[in-house]
Amino acid sequence: MAQISNKDARMARTLELAPWIAIVATTLPAPILFVILFLTAAATETAFIYLLMAGLSLAGGFALGLLIAAILLLYRKRWITRLRERLASDGITATEVVWFRSELTSAERIALAEIERSNPLLADAYLETLASRLTASRIIARSKKEMLQVERRINRARSLGTGETANLQEDLAADRERLDELRQHAIQHLSRSKARLQEIEATASRKLNQEETELMMQRLGATQNQLPLVLEMAQLERQALKELNSMTSPIEAGHE
């Protein structure tokens, strides 16, 4: 069973950093050296030459670094393609989806990021379903490619027009039927995977909206239960005036 080894992980990390390291390594050392020589030069002509060499070496080193980086990026792309083929040879697992992110749709990448933030358990189920979707898509693409090759072999066998190719044509026809059956099964599996992805997305969205709604209702209830400070002060002021009026009324009645 194909798995990601520590060597593969280190190689991927190295190839990811290598283009940037190449640009820095080819661009900076020579200009820095010439700048130091420029600052320590005693004669004006020598200082000018060092400054000119610093500029030329900066431009040349940067161009060379871009060339090396482009070569490394092409090698990294081919290396990752071979790694994906090796991983997909026995089916893609949830832990391997990270290596196939470029094959995900933009909607799937956005949904995965949102679900990972909101619900890790649903994110695991989403990754499992994505792995199934990627596997089914690859089987469909590979079966189509192999069916085209079988069709070309059948056409070449028919063009010969000899009896010796009859058995070959039967075998190729059987291969075509087998590949078509495999493709149909993969299409059904792909449809189920896409439906499950939508179901998980809807579940995550529904739960998130419910949580947000409950939080908003709690805040609204807290706001209604606690009057604003100004209104509370006004109520206290009215109560104080009412008590004062009730105390002064008997006194005024006695004077009369």
Question: How many helices and strands in the chain, by DSSP H and E?
Answer: 7, 0
**Residue 195 — φ and ψ, nearest 5°?**
-65, -40
Report how far apart, in Å, the C-alpha atoms of 194 and of each of 92, 100, 128, 132, 137 are.
16, 17, 12, 9, 11
E strands, 32-173, in order: none
Nearest Cα to Cα of residue 35 among 44, 22, 48: 48
The 10s digit of each residue's pLDDT in 205-229 is 776 555 555 565 565 455 445 444 4
Q: What is residue 215's predicted lDDT score, i.e. its pLDDT?
A: 60
Mean pLDDT of the chain: 81
Q: What is the pLDDT of residues 83-93, one digit of tens each?
A: 888 888 888 88
Cβ partners under 8 Å of residue 150, min gap 6: 172, 175, 176, 179
The answer regarding whether domain 92-215 maps to CATH 1.10.20 reads: no
For the chain, what are the domain ranges?
1-90, 92-215
- The 10s digit of each residue's pLDDT in 164-221 is 677 788 888 888 888 888 889 999 999 999 999 998 888 887 765 555 555 655 654 5
Residue with tokens 């239960």: 225
Average pLDDT over residues 96-119: 89
Residue 208's alpha-carbon distances to 14, 112, 116, 215, in angstroms, are 38, 14, 12, 11
Q: What is the pLDDT of residues 112-128, one digit of tens each?
A: 998 888 888 888 889 99
